[in-house]
Amino acid sequence: MAKVLVVADIKQGVLKGSTAELLSKAGSIGAQTAVVAIGSGVNALLSDLINAGSDTQYIADDPNLAMFSAGPYAACVVDAARQSNADLIWFGFSESGKALAPRVAAQLDCACATEITDITLAGGQIEITRPAIANKVRQRIKVNSAQLVAVVRAGAFEAREDITGSENVVTLSPPAPDLKAVIKELLSDAGGDIDLADADIVVSVGRGAKDQAGVTLVKALADDLNAGFGASRALVDGGFMAHNKQVGQTGKIVAPTLYIAVGISGAIQHLAGMNGSKAILAINKDPEAPIFNVADYGIVGDLFEVVPVLREEIKKVRA
């Protein structure tokens, strides 16, 4: 029986939905499930970890792990992988996952794959699918090593409702701090915002909004919809939006029910971050903008005119 170890995705003390999604997938391929939770105060998440569908919980709870540090975090994952004899070690899509997976794979001397969208186990042969070349192609990959470390792309797997786990806690000993890569400071992202990865609706703003006034106009639409508020790289580079709001290949990968692109041209690096969305609405004044090639609904028009009307009309249908 295959054994899956899922690395819990914990942000600001909260267990993210991807953990249950990955554990659900593990269950559906008939694997034994374990989870590893790393951080400070993560013992408090035990019931969440069990409810997410894990049968064993490896926990590294230490004040020294309060801030992400790739060396010690990777050491915890490797420790849990060895103790659990996991064949498959999965990370949910996150910056820490992307930083850790290659380290863990190098230490375990096994294959590593990022952004996987599917995995099959037939007769002990692990096979995966993942996009490459900015999502233009997909690769089917055969894994030759006994183990695989993988980062699962956002939205690839769904959490099952009927999932349950059982309590079986293994406490990991705290790893040594990385004295060669010392964290000096963390400039925290503004709190209180809706996490783009969790949002059911994401509204993103692009260069078409021009300046802060345009951004504020589009932000009001996001607020009305209780949506995550993202941006193209053009606005992040322009200093109008924070780095953590960038959607795309180097930003966040999102797969909401509805993605609204406002004043965004639709460069492939942007599309690579949002083309898994269920429905896409694009607003752009250029009828030839490439974003319209992927949008389910397109409004050709000036966003400064369209967005206020859009807000009014949405209020009407939601009333």
Partner 1 sequence: MKILTTIKKVVDVELNINVENGAIVENGLQYVMNAWDENAVEAAVQLKEKNGAETTLVSIGGGEDNTKIIRKGYAMGIENGIQIDDPALANADSFVFARVLQKVYEKGDYDLIITGKQAQDTDNGQTGIILAEYLGLPCASNVIAIEVVDDRHVRVSRLGDAGTEILELALPAVVTVSDSINEPRLPVMRGIMMAKKKKIDVMDLAGLGTTIDAVGGGALKSEIIEFMVSEKRSAGQKFEGDAAEITAQVVALLAGEAKVL
By CB under 8 A, the residues from 136 to 175 that bind partner 1 are 136-145, 148
Q: Which of residues 265-294 bind partner 1 (CB under 8 A)?
A: 268, 275, 278-281, 287, 292-294
Of 120-128, 154-162, 181-189, 206-214, the window that binds ligand FAD (rule: CB under 6 A) is 206-214
Of 33, 94, 204, 232, the one binding partner 1 (CB under 8 A) is 94
Of 39, 175, 248, 256, the one binding ligand FAD (CB under 6 A) is 248
Do the beta carbons of residue 311 and residue 220 sit within 8 Å? yes
Min dist CB 170 to partner 1, Å, is 25
Look at the chain and count its residues.
319
Is 31 a binder of ligand FAD (CB under 6 A)?
no
Which positions ≥6 away from 126 have C-beta within 8 Å?
Answer: 87, 88, 119, 120, 142, 143, 148
Measured between alpha carbons, how far is 75 from 155 in angstroms, rounded to an integer? 27
314, two tokens? 């949405």
Is 32 a binder of ligand FAD (CB under 6 A)?
no
Binding mask 251-290 for ligand FAD (x = CB under 6 A): x-----------xxx-x-xx--x---------xxxx--x-
Do the beta carbons of residue 260 and residue 284 sit within 8 Å? no
Is 313 a binder of partner 1 (CB under 8 A)?
yes
Which residue is associated with the tokens 């269950």? 27
Q: Which is nearer to partner 1, 64 or 250 (CB)?
A: 250
Which residue is associated with the tokens 């990865």? 197
Q: How far is CA 254 from the centre of its chain?
A: 7
Is 228 a binder of ligand FAD (CB under 6 A)?
no
The binder of 244, among partner 1, ligand FAD, none, by C-beta within 5 to 8 A per type, is partner 1
Measured between alpha carbons, how far is 232 from 262 in angstroms, rounded to an integer? 10
Which residue is associated with the tokens 């989870």? 35
Is 2 a binder of partner 1 (CB under 8 A)?
no
Min dist CB 262 to ligand FAD, Å, is 7
Which positions ≥6 away from 86 have C-beta within 8 Å?
Answer: 3, 4, 5, 34, 80, 147
Is 82 a binder of partner 1 (CB under 8 A)?
no
Which 8-state DSSP code applies to residue 169? E
Q: Rule CB under 6 A: which residues touch ligand FAD?
A: 206-208, 232-234, 246-251, 263-265, 267, 269-270, 273, 283-286, 289, 302-304
